[in-house]
Amino acid sequence: MEILVNLDVMMAKRKISSGELAERIGITPANLSILKTNKAKAIRFSTLAALCRELQCQPGDLLEFKDDQDDQ
Amino acid sequence: MKGAETVNWTKDKSILLSQICTAIFALLLAALDIGCYWAVHWFIRLRNMNWQKGIAFMVTIYLCSVFAWLLLYGLWKLLGNMKSGRVFVEENVRRLRTVSWCCVGAAVICFASCVYYLPFLFVSVAAAFMALIVRIVKNVFQQANAMKSELDFTV
């Protein structure tokens, strides 16, 4: 049971690079990489809001709930 | 700004003081290791004990000394890590666990030594109590380490 961050999909749709997005939302490229690779343990509402604003999408477009039982 | 500098100064000095105390205890332990024979000789003459007990005393002291050296080394490395700003890391949890087990080891040896000298029971209880305290501190460090790792991965 986990939450997946589909950031790379939305970034590809909006044709925006990691460095540019990190600069626009005010986080480090290293932290953006943590988000993209699904290593993050939590995301602040302010970061999520900034991502939605820059990528012009809804939180649901970025986050996806995956139940492990579905895989079994 | 001045307040922050004062706090920092105090923290560094406090760690330095702990390191000095650790070094003093290491010197005392080295002195005990070197002068164990004479100290035991003096003690058994004072208490009119036989030399078999003297040998048993030396065995207890040297066995406890091994744990004491491991404990002091662990504390020294722990303080070094704290000085360099690495406080809530897995290595420190491991060091504290080692320190705790060293106390348990010394407690067991002292408890066994009660067979020939009952006052060792007090040392054994003190060492076991110290092991408990260090273990609780280790649990705190473990929890803090988990919280820090979660905070590090909060974006």
pLDDT tens per residue across span B72-114: 999 999 999 999 999 999 999 999 999 999 999 999 999 999 9
In chain A, which residues have their Cβ closer than 8 Å to the Cβ of B153? Answer: 34, 39-42
Q: According to the model, what pLDDT value does residue A72 have?
A: 54
Spell out a b/e string for A40-71, using b for 16 or more CB atoms within 10 Å of the CB, else e. Answer: beebeeebbebbbebbeeeeebbeeeeeeeee
Alpha carbon distance B85, B22 (integer Å):
19
Residue A26 lies in a domain: yes
**CB nearest A44 (choices: B149, B150, B155):** B155
**CB nearest A35 (choices: B149, B150, B155):** B155
Residues of chain B that touch chain A, judged by Cβ-Cβ distance less than 8 Å: 149-150, 153-155
Answering whether pTM is above 0.80, one says no
| Tens of pLDDT, residues A18-71 | 999 999 999 999 999 999 998 898 999 999 999 999 999 999 999 999 887 665
| Tens of pLDDT, residues B63-72 | 999 999 999 9
> In sequence order, which residues have a C-beta less than 8 Å from that of residue B130 and are 6 or more positions away?
B103
Residue A11 lies in a domain: yes
Structural domain for A19, as ranges: 2-66
Alpha carbon distance B2, B4 (integer Å):
5
Residue in chain B nearest A38 by alpha carbon: B153
Mutation choice for A interface testing from B148, B149, B155 by most A CBs within 10 A: B155
Residue A72 lies in a domain: no
In chain A, which residues have their Cβ closer than 8 Å to the Cβ of B154? Answer: 40-44
Residue A71 lies in a domain: no
Compute the nearest-CA separation of A38 from chain B (Å): 10
| Tens of pLDDT, residues B104-150 | 999 999 999 999 999 999 999 999 999 999 999 999 999 999 999 88
What CATH number has the domain bearing residue A60? Answer: 1.10.260.40
Residue A34 lies in a domain: yes
Domain count of the fold of chain A: 1
